[in-house]
Structure 1
Amino acid sequence: MQLEHYNDSVQENHRQAREDARALGAFEAWIDGGSRAAASGETFDTRDPVVDDPILSVPRCDEADVDAAVEAAWDACDGEWGQTTPEERSRTLQEWVSVLRDHLDELALLESLDTGKPLAYAEGEVTKGLDFIEYYANICRAEGGKQIAAANDAHIYTRREPYGVVGCVTPWNYPLVLTSWKIGPALAAGNAVVLKPAEQSPLTALRIAELSEGILPDGVFNVVPGFGDEAGASVTGHPDVRKVSFTGEDVTGEAVMSAAAENITPVTLELGGKSPFVVFPDADVEQAAETVAGSITYNTGQSCDACSRAIVHEDVRDEFVERLVEEVESHTIGDPLAEDTTFGPLVSRAQYDKVNSYLKLGVEEGATLATGGGSVEGEGLDGGWFVEPAVFVDAENDMRIAQEEIFGPVETVVTFSTYEEAIELANDVPFGLAAGVATENGSLAHRAAADIDAGSIWVNKYYGRTVTGSPFGGFKRSGMGRECARDTLTSYTQEKTVHVPIEQDPTL
């Protein structure tokens, strides 16, 4: 796909981009190896957050569509897909990834249109998502059972077997990346998948399903777009779904866990975060400020692992805030299709309203808004869901802006004076997804990493991004289970132990 024509006005760029998107595929539900409308015939619009215009309409799936998808998935498990070897699955997934890489530009365009993220960032994320699928396609060849040397008169070994049908529900902030985290290991392990993508951003999931035609057997990968209380609840509570993987906010995670419990269905939950970045007095303050600014502004702050709480030693607080404000203000807010844009809109009107309510709340609670927080107008951006990245200072850790997940570009700075206070502040939230530590003292870094309750700790550089093979998941209300790791593949299988007696004096 050629993207050079995206260089005009914002409105013209997005009119042309929507036309390009509509020409790419059917964007209907993908069930049993083909496109189909929802059983009800109903549709809903996915909207462009830059100009708030509809991109296209997709099927509004419900329980009937999920039932059809689950049935197709079981047919695949009981048929061709269920008979494949790890080597055969590896080759099939590699072939699919190769095709998807050939369509990288169009997948990035769909991701950018759906979410409002800068096109260059979308390209990088699509590439990373495909890397994860490829990773699991590679390592599944080496997985297997083990022999247990427990007795001389018995041969005891284990088998790893797929669950069968896996139900996956993904959020809107990183649609393709988080889809790949789930379907990569699920498919590589030999399961079939029923995926419900977020209603705000279903396009890349639908497109990669279309691009699986002729590669994945029918029914192996099914996509049912729709709303959480309809299609999503039908997936997570379905009696014939044998494993559920969900990423989203913690309150929804409670509902998913409850629905799965009725069928004793195992779940993986990757939920919210309110991640701290602790800046000790010996830290490289310039680097720490740059790191925090990058984390809270990337993807417009709509990241579960964004370090939204800077916990800064009182001796370096003023210097840190000065540099943080400079870094935050340096971003170029604009059309995500423009090359120089580094900061796009929030994903929807609902998210825009939520972030603005917290900006108002922070002032009411007594924090000082050091920069940002205003709406963005002019340059053709008036119709989109843009808000300036904001930094609150003079904050207390018990304020709601420091306790609750805002999921937007809002940083809160809290100060501390002792190590013990820093750790107490870092852990004094309901979440434990990620954290960062800035210090030049290696022993202090290791000590803080051990004392902070979070699933991932970054030292000095807060990447906030996972790499293939590194476990990702949270403590406390941030969820259960780990994604992205080698062991994630095992979590999509069940272990079976086989006992075979061995005669001590066999008769020949």
Structure 2
Amino acid sequence: MHYTGTLQETHAQAREDIDREFGAVIDGETRSAASGETFEPTDPAVNEPITTVPSCDATDVEAAVEAADAAADEWGGMDASDREDLLREWVAAMRDHLDEFALLGALEVGKPLEFARADVENGLDFLEYYASVAVAETGEYVPTGDDSHTYVRREPYGVTGQILPWNYPILLMGWKVGAALAAGNTAVVKPPSPAPLSVILAGQLAAETLPDGVVNVVPGSGSEVGDPLIDHPRVGKISFTGSVPVGQAIMRTAADTVTPVTLELGGKNPFIVFPDADVEEAAATVATGGMYNAGQSCDSATRILVHEDVKEEFREAYLEELDGWEPGDPLAEGTTMGPLAYGGHFDDVDDYVDLGREEGATLLRGGPLEDEDYADGAFYRPTVFDDVDPEMRIAQEEVFGPVQFLFEFGDYEEAIEIANGVDYGLTAGIATGNPSVAHRAAADVEAGSVWVNRYFGTVPGTPFGGFKQSGFGRECAAQAIEEHQRAKSVNMAIDEPPY
């Protein structure tokens, strides 16, 4: 894909290249909403509607759950190896459409094409990983004596619900739907309202490769689709990624039906630069950790804690690294950062930047992109605050944008205190040349993932999930398969041989 012209012209060309009807995917068919209502996701680079999507409600959720329930026995009763073969066919079909997925990601989320493509490939890698892990599963034998035989079998829930975030639609679909299907469940997926297109495409390709009803995609709002899905008595498991308030509401709703949930709810993640770190390497690492996807990542490196002995040297190298992360057209080759995902989120990020000024932190650089050519889009420059007090709201609350905050510490204990001094505990980065410091800090930091001298270290096989208000449950590893299954113990009496 290669587009030329102004920002408005390139995105108009790209929208014309979308040759697909987007609908709900239920029981192997692409459908309109039962109500006939629609909505239009918007391209955040130019603030123009991309296409029309059905706006579903509880009636459509009921149809999707019914289809998933009807398919559950067949899918769950297959040998894991047979499910693996079908899942790999689905993945192969999606890989054949990588260019289309990348274009949709660039238009509906604002990701640069190169990064949009990489995110899709990463999600498909996780889906294939789960398929392989499920095949390798074995039962558990429990020794109980000569008069009985006891074992543990793991069974799928049946119908599961996955509620996806807008920042990584296909990547998180791979994490969630991949685990559910590999474990023998069927799925009803609610795609994110600002970015439903790539998930709908994945559902349409599933309809061509998997049995009808195994994957169902129901676009619509949280109140009209999400709530009925969570509250449905035939949905046995819910997985959600998003904000803390929404996660708390999901827990309350799921409590009524005692439905188990996996929640990944965001972070305020520290990156600690100890005095023996390679300063230039740490600067490059944390710039990527904070600016990738315009900082719209639950695991983004937002709080940069730097030892006082290297603070000045680090700051100089770090600000220089940020020069490579200026926003631009996500359809243009070489762009590293596109717009924020939608206009309302742009306003939220800008409000936090205003708050940082009011709280007395020093704004070193950043703010809205002031360029006439980009005036219609939600473009925000890499933004950095220094002289941040750990008790400021900007130091405590998740901004979810290309905004990072510099802190200074004097010794190890102070670094750990600042790192742990928030309600979140999702990820953390550590820069040090001392293995002892690395291991000690990895143990002391309250986070579900700790990455040393690197950032974004989640790969298939490493469990991902949070501590504290960052949620609970694990994805990306064998534990995700287990969380989509129920354990059943079987104890059989064994009599003496009759002869």
TM-score normalised over the length of structure 2: 0.98
Cα displacement (A) at 1:146:
1.4
**Amino acid in structure 1 at the alignment position of 2:396:** Q
Q: Could you tell me which residue of structure 2 aligns to residue 458 of structure 1?
A: 451
Q: Could you tell me which residue of structure 1 aligns to residue 144 of structure 2?
A: 150
Is the Cα contact below 8 Å between 2:207 and 2:215 reproduced in 1?
no
Residues 262-301 of structure 1 mapped to structure 2, 5 A cutoff: 262-301=256-295
1:96 is matched with which residue: 90, 98, 111?
A: 90
Q: Could you tell me which residue of structure 1 aligns to residue 411 of structure 2?
A: 418
SS of aligned partner of 1:211: helix
Is the Cα contact below 8 Å between 2:451 and 2:457 reproduced in 1?
no
Distance in 2 (CA, whole Å) between partners of 1:34 and 1:330 is: 44
Is the Cα contact below 8 Å between 2:409 and 2:415 reproduced in 1?
yes
Cα displacement (A) at 1:374:
3.2
Q: Could you tell me which residue of structure 2 aligns to residue 507 of structure 1?
A: 498
**Amino acid in structure 2 at the alignment position of 1:480:** F
1:217 aligns with 2:208: no
Alignment RMSD: 1.0
Distance in 2 (CA, whole Å) between partners of 1:501 and 1:304 is: 50
TM-superposition CA deviations, 1:129-178 (whole Å, max 9, x none): 11111111112111132111112111111111100000100100011001
Distance in 2 (CA, whole Å) between partners of 1:147 and 1:359 is: 57
1:76 aligns with 2:71: yes
1:321 aligns with 2:318: no
**Amino acid in structure 2 at the alignment position of 1:477:** Q
Distance in 2 (CA, whole Å) between partners of 1:375 and 1:359 is: 13
**Amino acid in structure 1 at the alignment position of 2:394:** I
Q: Could you tell me which residue of structure 2 aligns to residue 431 of structure 1?
A: 424
Distance in 2 (CA, whole Å) between partners of 1:246 and 1:423 is: 29
Residues 220-259 of structure 1 mapped to structure 2, 5 A cutoff: 220-259=214-253
Is the Cα contact below 8 Å between 1:302 and 1:407 reproduced in 2?
yes
**Amino acid in structure 2 at the alignment position of 1:53:** E
Where does structure 1 differ by over 3 angstroms across 4 or more consecutive aligned residues? none
Distance in 1 (CA, whole Å) between partners of 2:206 and 2:287 is: 38
Is the Cα contact below 8 Å between 1:376 and 1:388 reproduced in 2?
no
Distance in 1 (CA, whole Å) between partners of 2:229 and 2:70 is: 17
Deviates more, 1:148-157 or 1:193-202: 148-157
**Amino acid in structure 2 at the alignment position of 1:221:** V
Distance in 2 (CA, whole Å) between partners of 1:340 and 1:87 is: 41
SS of aligned partner of 1:155: strand
**Amino acid in structure 2 at the alignment position of 1:62:** D
Residues 35-184 of structure 1 mapped to structure 2, 5 A cutoff: 35-78=30-73, 80-184=74-178
Is the Cα contact below 8 Å between 1:332 and 1:340 reproduced in 2?
no
TM-superposition CA deviations, 1:7-32 (whole Å, max 9, x none): 222111111111112x1x22100011
Distance in 2 (CA, whole Å) between partners of 1:497 and 1:215 is: 34
TM-superposition CA deviations, 1:236-274 (whole Å, max 9, x none): 221211000000011110001111111111110011100
Is the Cα contact below 8 Å between 1:163 and 1:242 reproduced in 2?
yes
Is the Cα contact below 8 Å between 1:470 and 1:485 reproduced in 2?
yes
**Amino acid in structure 2 at the alignment position of 1:71:** E
1:398 aligns with 2:391: yes
Distance in 2 (CA, whole Å) between partners of 1:172 and 1:249 is: 11
1:199 is matched with which residue: 190, 193, 197?
A: 193
TM-superposition CA deviations, 1:286-341 (whole Å, max 9, x none): 11111111111100000001110001111111111111111112324210000021
Q: Could you tell me which residue of structure 2 aligns to residue 18 of structure 1?
A: 15
Q: Could you tell me which residue of structure 2 aligns to residue 7 of structure 1?
A: 4
Q: Could you tell me which residue of structure 1 aligns to residue 485 of structure 2?
A: 493
Distance in 2 (CA, whole Å) between partners of 1:17 and 1:151 is: 68
**Amino acid in structure 2 at the alignment position of 1:419:** Y
**Amino acid in structure 2 at the alignment position of 1:397:** P
Distance in 1 (CA, whole Å) between partners of 2:417 and 2:244 is: 22
Distance in 1 (CA, whole Å) between partners of 2:352 and 2:474 is: 30
TM-superposition CA deviations, 1:91-148 (whole Å, max 9, x none): 1101111111111111111111110010000011111111111111112111132111
Q: Could you tell me which residue of structure 2 aligns to residue 383 of structure 1?
A: 376
Q: Could you tell me which residue of structure 2 aligns to residue 353 of structure 1?
A: 347
Distance in 1 (CA, whole Å) between partners of 2:44 and 2:368 is: 17
Is the Cα contact below 8 Å between 2:109 and 2:195 reproduced in 1?
yes
**Amino acid in structure 2 at the alignment position of 1:42:** E
**Amino acid in structure 1 at the alignment position of 2:486:** Q
**Amino acid in structure 2 at the alignment position of 1:404:** E
Distance in 2 (CA, whole Å) between partners of 1:102 and 1:381 is: 33
Cα displacement (A) at 1:465:
4.5
SS of aligned partner of 1:373: strand
Is the Cα contact below 8 Å between 1:44 and 1:60 reproduced in 2?
yes
**Amino acid in structure 2 at the alignment position of 1:493:** Q
**Amino acid in structure 2 at the alignment position of 1:41:** G
Distance in 2 (CA, whole Å) between partners of 1:8 and 1:367 is: 40
**Amino acid in structure 2 at the alignment position of 1:467:** V
SS of aligned partner of 2:463: coil
TM-superposition CA deviations, 1:203-226 (whole Å, max 9, x none): 111001111223211111000011
Deviates more, 1:302-311 or 1:494-503: 494-503
SS of aligned partner of 1:234: helix
SS of aligned partner of 1:453: coil
Is the Cα contact below 8 Å between 1:308 and 1:410 reproduced in 2?
yes
Cα displacement (A) at 1:435:
0.5
Is the Cα contact below 8 Å between 1:144 and 1:160 reproduced in 2?
no
1:472 aligns with 2:464: yes
Is the Cα contact below 8 Å between 1:237 and 1:256 reproduced in 2?
no
SS of aligned partner of 1:214: helix
Is the Cα contact below 8 Å between 1:472 and 1:482 reproduced in 2?
yes
TM-score normalised over the length of structure 1: 0.97
Is the Cα contact below 8 Å between 1:469 and 1:484 reproduced in 2?
yes
Q: Could you tell me which residue of structure 2 aligns to residue 331 of structure 1?
A: 325
TM-superposition CA deviations, 1:13-59 (whole Å, max 9, x none): 111111112x1x22100011101111111111111000010001111
SS of aligned partner of 1:405: coil
Structure 1 unpaired stretches of 5+:
none
Cα displacement (A) at 1:486:
1.4
Distance in 1 (CA, whole Å) between partners of 2:261 and 2:89 is: 29
Distance in 2 (CA, whole Å) between partners of 1:465 and 1:111 is: 22
